Amino acid sequence: MGFTNSTRAKILVVEDDTFMQKILSTFLSKNYEVQVCDNGLDALSFLQDGNIPDLIMTDLNTPKLNGFGLLDQIKASDLFKDIPIIILSGEEGSDKKTKGLNAGAEDYVSKPFNPTELEARVKVILRRLGK
């Protein structure tokens, strides 16, 4: 498992809910190369194997290593700290959003979300990166 040499932007989705994995993968794969990991530890392992995405989307409530833990690990790494992260979460509290954004996430999108709006947010971030 890993990204190909496709010219399409690469998105790593970290989500443990299989229904949400399918929705995100199906929707995003129309325009992007998508890989899915079930939890934060698998995502870190995937990154350490040399699979560098253009963007990461993570749920906050993933097993083994939650979204905040993953965010902290990525932002502490010299290799991965510049990868933009979008948090996707069913937790809408302002304190969670603030914590995620202050920890280095580019955006915080509450579930349920409008797929068209999510894609627009992805495009804005990738456009800033020149992707």
Residue 7: predicted pLDDT: 87
CATH 3.30.160.270 correct for 10-128 = no
> How much is the pTM?
0.95
Residue 24: predicted pLDDT: 96
Residue 91: predicted pLDDT: 80
Above pLDDT 70, what percent of the chain? 99
Contact 86, 105 (CB under 8 A): yes
Q: Give domain limits for the chain.
A: 10-128
The confidence band for 85, taking pLDDT boundaries of 50, 70 and 90, is: very high
Residue 80: predicted pLDDT: 97
Closest by CA to 33, choosing from 50, 53, 14, is 53
Structure confidence by residue, pLDDT tens digits, 37-78: 999 999 999 999 999 999 999 999 999 999 999 999 999 999
CA–CA distances in Å: residue 124 to residues 15, 111, 128: 22, 19, 6
